[in-house]
Each structure stands twice: as C-alpha cells, then as structure tokens.
Amino acid sequence: MNTQTENPRGIKLLYSISNFLFGLSILLSAILISILIWGTFGNDIGARVDVSSGELFINHWIDVDSDNVSEESKRILENDQSWFSLTLGTLPVDLNNERKHLDFHTLSISARLAILFFTFTLLLLTVSSVYYFRRFMKFINRGDYFVLNTMKSLKFISYNLIAIWIVGVLQSVLLSSTLAANEDGCQIGGLRVFVIDDSSFSLLFIGLVFWVLSLVFLEGVKINDENKLTI
C-alpha cells in the first residue's frame, strides 16, 4: 500500500514554473548573447552602455516627443529608459548628476569583448541558478525533503547567487574607468563614489542565507543517516 502523502498543488505548480523558467532562461540568454556577439563585430544593435557603471541598455522605446514633457525630462528619458537593462553590482554617485552613455558598437574592441565576457558569465550563472532551483523543486515534488541531493541543490543555488553579486561588482569596477576613457578622452564627472546597490546587496544576503541553511540541513541529513545506521 502506498502511504506517501500527496504534495500540495502549490509544490507541483512551482515545479512546473521552474521547468518553464529554466527553458526561458536558456532561450533569452542565447538570444542576448547572439545579439551582443553581433554587436561585438561593430554592428549597431541599439545598445548603449552607462559609462559610470557599465550598465547595458538595449532598444530604447519611450516616446519623448510629447508637448507635456519638459526638455530636462526628455533628456533624462532618452538617456535612462529601455525595455531591457542588465544591471550590475554597483551604482555610481556622480557629483554632476548626469549619466553618460556610449553606443555599444562604438566602444573599443577590448571594451566590447570585456562586456561580452561579463555578460556571458552573468547569464551562465543565472541559468545555473535556475537549473538548481528546478532540480531542488524536482526533489521537493517527489517528497525528498531532507535528503542529500535536495540540500546540495540549495547550496549550489547559494553559490550561484553569491557569484552573480561578485561578478556584477567586478564588472562595474573594472569597466567604469575603461568606458570613461572611451568617450573621446573626456574626463567625466570628476570625483565618483561607488556604493553598493540595495537590490544587489539583497542578492548577496539571500545567497548567504541559502548557504547557511544548506549547511545546517546538510548536517542534519548526515546526522539522520548516521542514526539510521546505528539502529
């Protein structure tokens, strides 16, 4: 007789969502990398890069021709809005309160390759995070709550989240000076102070929490297995 209790519908729904998100993350990552590779060869892909932070914007779409929008607002919207942005690990504090942008295809080949490398790394870590979340939900859906593979999946999720934060910060720090030098040799903004973005810090915090939880549960699984052997 099968006495295993049936999982709640929410668990099954989350497992289905994780499968969908995994496929979607692979598809979107492949599309974005293909676009960036095309732009790396000097083709205009409609992408702009924030000089101060290295933040990447693709396909600006906001209409700023309305008579009800001030000239200052138009300038801000033209510079800052897009339907896609790849946000990195730091936010710049510019004393001139301006955000300078450069077209991606006009950057030096070294800068384009660096952005491509960091973007590929971030997307790879993101896909890996979704994969281990899918794997985690697979075990949970099967009822394997406190088993070694389930807890290892949680640990790998934490590793990926922490790695995403580290790579994002490194990208912003390493690229900011390189991108500033690309703007026709102009000095931009004088003094800059980089602060940790709240959302980025939240990502690091969640990664650390998952890491601690995985260690605690892994230790619990080992103790449980040892108790079974002594009975």
For 116-178, what is the HEC assignment?
HHHHHHHHHHHHHHHHHHHHHHHHHHCCCCCCHHHHHHHHHHHHHHHHHHHHHHHHHHHHHHH
In a domain, 194, yes or no: yes
In a domain, 183, yes or no: yes
The alpha carbons of the chain give a radius of gyration, in whole angstroms, of 22
| Sign of the Cα pseudo-torsion (118, 120, 121, 122, in order) | positive
Given this model, what pLDDT does residue 90 score?
A: 36
3-state SS, residue 49 = strand
Given this model, what pLDDT does residue 47 score?
A: 85
Given this model, what pLDDT does residue 107 score?
A: 86
Given this model, what pLDDT does residue 48 score?
A: 83
In a domain, 2, yes or no: no
The stretches in the chain having pLDDT less than 70 are 1-6, 52-54, 59-100, 177-200, 231
In a domain, 105, yes or no: yes
CA distances from 50 to 18, 23, 41, 101, 190 (A): 32, 30, 20, 5, 16
In the chain, how many domains are there?
A: 1
In a domain, 111, yes or no: yes
Q: Are strands 47-50 and 90-94 parallel, antiparallel or unpaired?
A: unpaired
Domain that holds residue 49: 9-230
Q: Contact 188/182 with Cβ under 8 angstroms?
A: no
d(CA 217, CA 13) in angstroms, rounded, equals 24
d(CA 132, CA 210) in angstroms, rounded, equals 12
In a domain, 3, yes or no: no
pTM for this entry = 0.73
The residue to which tokens 């912003």 are assigned: 172
In a domain, 131, yes or no: yes
Given this model, what pLDDT does residue 82 score?
A: 44
Given this model, what pLDDT does residue 79 score?
A: 52
In a domain, 4, yes or no: no
